[in-house]
Structure formats: structure tokens, C-alpha cells
Amino acid sequence: EALGHKSALPPTTQQELSMILESSKERLNSNDHSVTQEVASHDAKQKLTQHSPDDIDLIGKNISTLNLSGDFDPFSMEVISKLLLLIGYPKPCHMAGVHYIDKDLNTLCVNSTIQLDSIKYKLLTEIGKGAYARVLKGTRNEKPVALKFQKPGLTWELYITQELQLRLKMINQKMLTCFMEISEAFIFKNSTVFESEWAKYGSLLDVSNTIKMKTSKVIPVNIVVVISSQMSSIIEHLHKCRIIHGDIKPDNFVVMNVAPLENRVLIKLIDFGRSIDMSLLPAQTTFTTDVSTSGFTCTEMRDKRPWTYQLDMFGLTATIYLLLMGEYMKVEKINNKWQPKTPIPRYGLKNLWEPLFSSLLNINSCREQPNLIEFRKTLDDYLKTVNVYSLKNQFTSFYNVLNGQ
């Protein structure tokens, strides 16, 4: 296979491991040698968490009272609420830009102006709507912003985005811009409103549809390779922070900028409402909960096998597939191996993608996750073989189409 399989967790140094315990506790049940490598010293954790050793132990004991079994649902609002309560969220490090408002907010109306606490927004258009959330485009001081209104409110997404920023500062500050940051959060009694950066080009799904509509073609395959390399880096660093996104799909990567002179597409991962913070859970925790999102049910769920980070690996594969093919991926099992029902054509770099996809769709166990560093290296090595001028011309055309030129 193209990818080597590593240990239970993504490649992470001991220093990085000490840094992901920003609001956490001692690992539970850490008798196994592979687990002890995850446990940082009390001194390192105390420095990062601003908790005393006694506080950290208390957090661990509190979480252990949940009696989490292998069958518990990590997406359960009851479990999430208890975790936030037991870790004492929010801590002082979580309070920047957060406004607690002791009243209800039932809706946001487009074509209106609203003042939230001391901040005034103009609400322009609705750009997305789900069962419990709406995303609107607005302006603050004439600058475009995205506003996510959720009812009932979801402080878990705020916690995850804050923790990611805190942990990434310790691991790789250059990756900070690749993850959604909530610049202002308004916590009402019955709802939440989160302000984040506006994405000019929309999601990868929007970009794929725009290219298809304007050119009757899919995104050029070399540009898909560039985007896929960046996506794999984003998910690699996400997992180094011990966080599972839980809903990786084309809708949840937004395109912030296209830089044809640099042959780059700058993307950002958003929507952390279904994320899982593995640093809060016992070291060998796995899940059996099924996710019914059409087209994004990982192969482990289909096989009734335990899963952890595999959920994001499947989402990465399905997202790349959509960019390559212009349609959602359906999978089938042949000779005990999962693969896309409709294979990648030869002109779509079939020989590059097939072994990579197989590695992400056929993960042996939760303890043998694919190495996304090797995944990205395979893509980057291919890009080194591409004619520089040809790639630049493709990026220029891509940029012009997205900008209506």
C-alpha cells in the first residue's frame, strides 16, 4: 500500500503531546506502554492548563464518574454537556470575545441591523440553513463576516474551536489560519451566535459546482492534488490536537483565497459542532455509534467495527472524490476491500489515487491509523513532476472562472 500505518495515534512528538492537554487531565487506565507515551508530565500540563496537579487529577476523577463504555455516543448532547461541566468550562483562557447575554434570541432577520451586546451587525443574506442552525452573511464596520445562529445554542463548537487555536499555538502556529476561529461569540439563554471570517468563494462544494456550471468540467486534477495536499495537512494537525472533526465533507472546507502566482488555494476547515475531543476521554476509547449522514458513513460503521479517527479519513476520501468526479462517492466491498463504486478514470490520475484511497478506506484498526504525512508527500512528489507553466496556466484559468472573468 502507498501509506505506511503508524501507531494508534497520528505521529506526534512528546513535546506536542504535552501541549494538547490544554483543559484536560491525566489519561485514564494508562497501564499500556503505548498509552504512557501520550501522558505528559504534571509540570508541562500545569504550565499549559494553569491547573494545579490536584485540579488535573480532580478533572480526571470527575470524567471517570461518567462511566463511559465502548457503546456511548460521542455526539450525545447529554455527554457533551457533562464533559463541559466536569472540566469546568469556560476557563479564563476561553473568555476572549465571549459575551454571555441573559435573555433569549429567537432568530436573526436578513435585511436588518442588529446590535449584539455592544457590536452592531448588518444582516445581508442567508447562505446556509440546517435543522438547528443558519449561516448568514453580514457586515461589521463595513467588513463582511459570517454569522452562525444556532437554536438551541451549542457552546461545544465554541469550546472545540478555542481549544484548537490554543493547542495549535503550541504545535504549529502556521496552521492557525487553516481552522475556523470564532472571533465573537454571543451566548444567549436559548441560542448562540458566532462571528467568523467571511469566505469569499464559499465552500469546496460551491467551488466545484461553480466550475462545473461555468465550464461543464470538473476542477483540473492538478489543482485537486494541491487542495488535497492542504486538506491532508489540516486533518493531520487536527488529529495531532487529539480532535476528531466528525463531519469532514466538501461543505465544511471553505475557500478563503486563490493565489495563481503561487499555485495555491487557501482553504479553512469549519463547523466543529460534531467534533470529539479525545484528550478528555480514556486513552483506549473507541466508538460504535453509526453516523447516518448520507454518503459520509465510514467503512468501519458499515462493517460494524469500532472507529475513532477513521471517520475523518473517510470524509477526506469522499471530499477528494467529489472534487475529482463532480459527484458524491459511493463505496462497495469487493474481495474484502472497500473501494469507490465508480472508479477514478485514468485521466484523473487513477494510478495516484487508487492506492491512496484504498489506504484510507481499509484501515486495519483504531490502533493503525494512516500516516497523513506520507499521504501528503505522495501528492507533493507528484506535483514536482508537473510542468510549472502548465500548472500556473491552470491556476490562472481557475482563478478567472471563480472571479467571473
Of residues 71, 73, 102, 247, which has the active-site annotation? 247
Class of domain 202-403: mainly alpha
62/278: higher pLDDT: 278
Per-domain residue ranges of the chain: 70-197, 202-403
- Determine whether 247 is an active site residue: yes
User: What are the pLDDT digits (tens) for 200-232?
Assistant: 999 999 999 999 999 999 999 999 999 999 999
pLDDT at position 324 over 50: yes
The rounded Cα 97 to chain-centroid distance in angstroms is 22
The pLDDT, as a whole number, for residue 69 is: 60
The pLDDT, as a whole number, for residue 46 is: 39
Which CATH superfamily, name and number, covers 70-197?
Answer: Transferase(Phosphotransferase) domain 1 (1.10.510.10)
Q: Please, which pLDDT band fits residue 23 given cuts at 50, 70 and 90?
A: very low
- In percent, the amount of the chain with pLDDT more than 70 equals 82
What average pLDDT is seen over the chain?
86
- Per-residue burial over 59-92, b if 16 or more Cβ lie within 10 Å, else e, is bbebbeebebeeebebbeeebbebbbebbebbee
Q: Please, which pLDDT band fits residue 35 given cuts at 50, 70 and 90?
A: very low
Q: Please, which pLDDT band fits residue 61 given cuts at 50, 70 and 90?
A: low
pTM metric for this prediction? 0.86
Q: Is 47 annotated as a binding residue?
A: no
Length of the chain: 405
Report the C-alpha gap between 106 and 24 in whole angstroms: 34
